[in-house]
Structure 1
Amino acid sequence: MAGVGLAAVAVAALDAPAGTTPLLLAGAWLGSLLPDADKADSRIYRTRRLERKVWPVRVAGRLARIPLRLLILLGHRGLTHSLAAAALVAAAAALLDPAFGAGVAIGYGSHVAADACTPSGVPLLAPLTRRRWWLLPRRTRIPTGSLRELGVAALLTAGAIAGTVML
């Protein structure tokens, strides 16, 4: 949610061309899902309505997820939550389209930043070090799935909507 909201604000702030907007937002959506590809029950592995209804899309979705399944071997919130992974994924996406790559970078980065606000933190400089990093002091870190997380998500959503409308 944060990545797509941030991408929407960026689209409005930069007055992006109409053709760029869907690529940027789609990239942000995908980028926000990719860091959790190291978790077996992650949202990236769930089939979408379009996949369930249109068999060629279903086949393409399953084929696209095959290499991602290998990331489960890394363990959750490991290498996929690092700056190196974010840069690599964004660069690969930019080869397809620069706006899509920018969207992926926004979504991926916002996901990693949000996870850096949890008690677990993130290994930001992996694979160089396993040290975990946080964006918030210990007492203010937000547990995943908590009521505080829901409140912060609601505030971020309202802020993104307000920011987009004001721009």
Structure 2
Amino acid sequence: MTAEGHLIFALASTILAKKMELSPALAHGDWWHIVAGGLVTCLLPDIDHPRSFLGQRLKWISLPIARVFGHRGFTHSLLAIIAGIVLFTLKLDPGMLIPLDAFHGMIIGYLSHILADMLTPAGVPLLWPCRWRFRLPVLYPQKGNQLERVLCVAVLIFAVQHPQGAPLGTRMPIPDSVAALWSKVRGNF
């Protein structure tokens, strides 16, 4: 997935997480903290690729990580997420340097990258160092990024339209006119 796709997908993910109130910090947090936190970390897993957006700018970090782990290795795993959370919570009080709502946004942003990469044929090794790849190949990078852009924008529109405080699986209200039309269509079969 491209940097553009990851940024749009992270924006959608942080908006949806805030609206679904996944944690008290997200439910009561500041929109600016949460969205900024998600956007700051959404490209971080690709630090393991020297030609990625971050890798090109931070080659001194990217090259050693790429040599040791390869692309879509450790940085694209649940172990990396756990290590990051432990690093912030054990060594530093996240509230001292980073507000808790922004910290939760950072976790959502990082997770959104991994979820988005699962939509490609290469998948991600969620259980690294185990080599199993988790994937739901919907996006094919060699065919351009139009489908990626459409999918990410559709997810963003869904997130913006999602009702505040509603879980993901609730039934959305259907207008009476749509229900009547559906009844007519079903009645013809």
Which one of the candidate residues 134, 143, 160 is aligned to 2:140?
143
Which one of the candidate residues 122, 125, 145 is aligned to 1:123?
125
* TM-score, normalised via structure 1 length: 0.71
Q: What's 2:158 paired with?
A: 159
RMSD (CA atoms): 2.4
* Structure 1, gaps ≥5 residues long: 48-61
Q: What's 2:181 paired with?
A: none
Q: What's 1:133 paired with?
A: 134
Which one of the candidate residues 18, 22, 41 is aligned to 2:32?
22
**1:161 Cα offset (Å):** 2.2
Q: What's 1:70 paired with?
A: 64
CA 1:72–1:151 in structure 2 vs 1: closer, same or farther (change >3 Å)? Answer: same
* TM-score, normalised via structure 2 length: 0.64
Q: What's 2:116 paired with?
A: 114
Rounded to whole Å, the distance in 2 between the matches of 1:24 and 1:39 is 26
Rounded to whole Å, the distance in 1 between the matches of 2:116 and 2:50 is 20
CA 1:23–1:93 in structure 2 vs 1: closer, same or farther (change >3 Å)? Answer: farther
The AA in structure 1 aligned to 2:64 is: L
Which one of the candidate residues 35, 42, 46 is aligned to 2:52?
42
The AA in structure 1 aligned to 2:146 is: L
**1:103 Cα offset (Å):** 1.2
The AA in structure 1 aligned to 2:54 is: I
Rounded to whole Å, the distance in 1 between the matches of 2:118 and 2:29 is 32
Large movers: runs of 4+ above 6 Å:
none
Contact 2:29-2:101 within 8 A present in 1 as well: no
Rounded to whole Å, the distance in 2 between the matches of 1:69 and 1:101 is 27
Identity %: 29
* Structure 2, gaps ≥5 residues long: 1-7, 22-26, 165-189
Rounded to whole Å, the distance in 2 between the matches of 1:101 and 1:93 is 9
Q: What's 1:86 paired with?
A: 81
Comparing 26-35 with 111-120, greater Cα deviation is found at: 26-35
Contact 1:93-1:104 within 8 A present in 2 as well: no
1:9 and 2:16 matched: yes
Rounded to whole Å, the distance in 2 between the matches of 1:67 and 1:40 is 9
**1:104 Cα offset (Å):** 1.5
CA 1:92–1:101 in structure 2 vs 1: closer, same or farther (change >3 Å)? Answer: farther
Rounded to whole Å, the distance in 2 between the matches of 1:91 and 1:26 is 21
